[in-house]
Amino acid sequence: MSAGGGVHGGHVEEGPVVPTGSAEPPGLGHLEPSTATARELVTALVAHGVHDVVLAPGSRSAPLAYALQSAEAAGWLRLHVRIDERVAGFVALGLARATASPSARPVAVVTTSGTAVANLHPAVLEASHSGLPLVVVSADRPHEMRGTGANQTTDQVGIFGSATRSAVDVPAGAPGGPRLEQVVTRALAAAQGLRTNHPGPVHLNVALRDPLAPAAPWAPGAPPQPRHVVAPAARPGAVVLPPGPRTVVVAGDGAGAEARAVAEGGGWPLLAEPTSGARAGANAVGPYRLLLAEPGLGGAVERVVLFGHPTLSRPVTGLLSRKGVEVVVVAPRGPWTDVAGTAAHVVGAVEPRGRDDDEWLTRWRRAGKAAQAAVDEVLTASGRPLDGLLLARHVARAAGRGDEPRALVVGSSNTVRDLDLVAAPWDAATLPVAVANRGLAGIDGTISTATGLALGLEEPVRAVMGDLTFLHDAGGLLRGTLEDEVDLQVVVLNDGGGGIFATLEHGAPERADQFERIFGTPQAVDVAALAAAYGARHVRVEDGGELRTALADPVRGRSVLEVPVDRREVRAQRSALAGQARAAVRESLRAGTRA
């Protein structure tokens, strides 16, 4: 360790809190080392654009907690307190999603030492694969206590492995001033991908020695001046795509509005997932997955322009894997999606050169409308009981009305796939903010993500999920009595277990004897009692009319809308729906040929 302190090897070396000759940050004075470090760190985070911090309290992180509370009182930031670190991580993730864009605002989550840090791992992984600027600040024991058996002490350095864009260990008593400022500058630049176009989570592991409570309160004064040290790297220029090959635009999760603009500029069909941010406009095809098996549609595709991260449909995966199809991957930042290794070009942006012949687009539009009409006919048949598909249709229509809530969080598993299958393209003017944790497609933290989104947008949010996703994050409903209320409606499709597995090979009739326990995982939780325990209102609906009414009511406070359904026929229902839609598509193609 160098005597004078310094930064090397990813670590800030020991040294005085404020180096000789450096400017002392306002309001710090000569303080306890841990208090001074915490206040400088909070000051630097705010200066670099952090406006929301989620805190899961603990003793070792106390200097950070005191500093954050004082900073909030001075109007520097918003502080959100959660008792469960996994919940805290996903609340921070939801806050980051509320500003998701090429210049998304970083959000910090602060924990104490030990298992508290490990509980952030699912949120860190999702942030890594979704490219969200999550800033983890973990308190740690000082170096002399590590490896000694001291309470709540483990190896926190590099605990998230390759998931972080930057990981720094800040020793107790680390130099303040420019050295600590530089650590934060580099970490926040990495989180936002300013130099790499590859945003994601970063980890600041901060060792703190006793005393952990400040001797005197902190009055921070005016917020620090914003720091814009690192200029963003320039985005690559657009590659021109000439007309000619029969082209479709595939927009996966997080694709953004550019996918729609390219499809419309080139006169190409748009196959957009509901959380792509592009499922709107005249070129969007609703039940596109049902068209990909048709020789005159999916079978005739010669070029795919791919945006985002498509994960919902095996037919799309098959298209991207097919020999003879030119795949152009548009990846404006960092890694790109190319599961089959078939990408012919990976580019930062594309620009169509003129429009293709209208016959190709007309064929897809006609078939898409026929499939959509067939889906609607099946779902609106007299006497049809509520199921996941019908719920998805009602939710999609409510989201597209342009009323509050305009934000929709969709759980993984069947819920997002049902929405993808039955939701007609939305009107561009009322396109909802539809998000899902599709980076790793886990069911972790869905309620907490929706809570963070509501806090970030400062408006109502509706979240739709299955019962297992709901139970996995039921603690996300908890609101401390001193914390801000959110307007969040959680719609729970309660089919008493894991319905998605019934649609996969595990749900085949010949596996029925093995299925229920190890895949169906039946449960009989009293959702009403669980919601009440967390202080959320509960409504149970039994039919489509009640569901429409409940979805039309204003979303105020926390509520749980329970929709009980029977999952025994889920496999047969989806198979029948797909068969009827494909028959309608084939008839539309025949009619088009005759015309």
pLDDT range class, residue 6, cuts 50, 70, 90 = very low
Question: Cβ contacts of residue 101 below 8 Å, gap of 6+?
Answer: none
Round to whole Å and give the CA distance between 450 and 437.
10
Least Cα distance to 584 among 435, 399, 400, 376 occurs for 376
Half-sphere exposure of 11 (CA within 13 A, CB side): 15
Of these ranges, 201-215, 400-414, 504-518, the one predicted with the greatest mean pLDDT is 201-215
Specify the DSSP class assigned to residue 518. I
Give the pLDDT confidence score for residue 382 in this predicted structure: 82
Higher per-residue pLDDT: 570 or 448: 448
Give the pLDDT confidence score for residue 595 in this predicted structure: 57
Angle at 35 between CA 16 and CA 145, to 5 degrees: 70
E strand or H helix at 450: helix 446-457
Peptide bond into 405 cis (omega under 30): yes
Q: Give the distance, in angstroms, between the CA of residue 59 and the centroid of all CA atoms in the same chain.
A: 30
Residue 538 has pLDDT above 80, yes or no: yes
Q: Give the distance, in angstroms, between the CA of residue 62 and the centroid of all CA atoms in the same chain.
A: 29
pLDDT range class, residue 519, cuts 50, 70, 90 = confident
Q: Which of 34-48, 455-469, 550-564, 571-585 has the lowest mean pLDDT?
A: 571-585
Round to whole Å and give the CA distance between 104 and 90.
16
Bin 17: left if φ > 0, else alpha if -120 < ψ < 50, else beta. Answer: alpha
Q: Crossing angle, helix 544-552 and helix 388-399, to 10 degrees?
A: 30
Round to whole Å and give the CA distance between 418 and 312.
10
Instruction: Please identify which residue in the block is written with the tokens 């590590």.
Output: 146
Give the pLDDT confidence score for residue 594 in this predicted structure: 58
Angle at 134 between CA 128 and CA 137, to 5 degrees: 120
Higher per-residue pLDDT: 592 or 273: 273
Instruction: Please identify which residue in the block is written with the tokens 């959702």.
Output: 527
Higher per-residue pLDDT: 229 or 506: 229
Virtual torsion, Cα 190, 194, 196, 198, nearest 10 deg:
70
pLDDT range class, residue 12, cuts 50, 70, 90 = very low
Work out the average pLDDT over 16-41: 65
Work out the average pLDDT over 60-68: 97
Work out the average pLDDT over 566-584: 83
Q: Is 352 helix (H, G, I), strand (E, B) or coil?
A: strand
Asked if 412 and 441 count as a contact pair (C-beta separation under 8 A), the reply is yes
C-alpha separations of 326 from 55, 249, 291, 341, 345 in Å: 48, 12, 19, 12, 8
Give the pLDDT confidence score for residue 21 in this predicted structure: 32
Residue 234 has pLDDT above 90, yes or no: no
Residue 23 has pLDDT above 70, yes or no: no
What distance separates the 2 farthest-apart alpha carbons in the chain?
Answer: 87
E strand or H helix at 379: helix 358-379
Work out the average pLDDT over 443-448: 96
Beta-strand pair 461-466/407-410: parallel
Q: Token pair for residue 114?
A: 């030990």
In 182-191, which positions are buried (b, 16+ CB within 10 angstroms) versus exposed (e)?
ebbbbbbbbb
Give the pLDDT confidence score for residue 29 in this predicted structure: 53
Asked if 436 and 409 count as a contact pair (C-beta separation under 8 A), the reply is yes
> Considering the entire predicted model, what is its pTM?
0.92
Higher per-residue pLDDT: 357 or 3: 357
Give the pLDDT confidence score for residue 100 in this predicted structure: 65
Q: What are phi and psi of 203, to 5 degrees?
A: -130, 120
Dihedral angle sign, alpha carbons of residues 225, 226, 230, 233? negative
Instruction: Please identify which residue in the block is written with the tokens 């630049």.
Output: 189
Give the pLDDT confidence score for residue 210 in this predicted structure: 95
Give the pLDDT confidence score for residue 103 in this predicted structure: 59
Work out the average pLDDT over 423-449: 95
Give the pLDDT confidence score for residue 512 in this predicted structure: 79
Q: Crossing angle, helix 85-97 and helix 446-457, to 10 degrees?
A: 50
Round to whole Å and give the CA distance between 133 and 366.
41
Give the pLDDT confidence score for residue 101 in this predicted structure: 59
Specify the DSSP class assigned to residue 18. S
Question: Cβ contacts of residue 316 below 8 Å, gap of 6+?
Answer: 250, 271, 289, 292, 310
Q: Is 237 exposed, middle or buried (0-12, 13-18, 19+ CB in 10 A)?
A: exposed
Share above pLDDT 90 across residues of the chain, in percent, rounded to a whole number = 76
Q: Token pair for residue 69?
A: 């509370």
Round to whole Å and give the CA distance between 481 and 397.
35
Q: Is 225 exposed, middle or buried (0-12, 13-18, 19+ CB in 10 A)?
A: exposed
Round to whole Å and give the CA distance between 82 and 49.
22
Least Cα distance to 472 among 514, 421, 530, 407 occurs for 530
Q: How many CB atoms lie within 10 A of CB 384?
A: 14
Give the pLDDT confidence score for residue 22 in this predicted structure: 36
Q: What are phi and psi of 590, to 5 degrees?
A: -65, -40
Residue 20 has pLDDT above 70, yes or no: no
Least Cα distance to 394 among 462, 449, 469, 488 occurs for 462
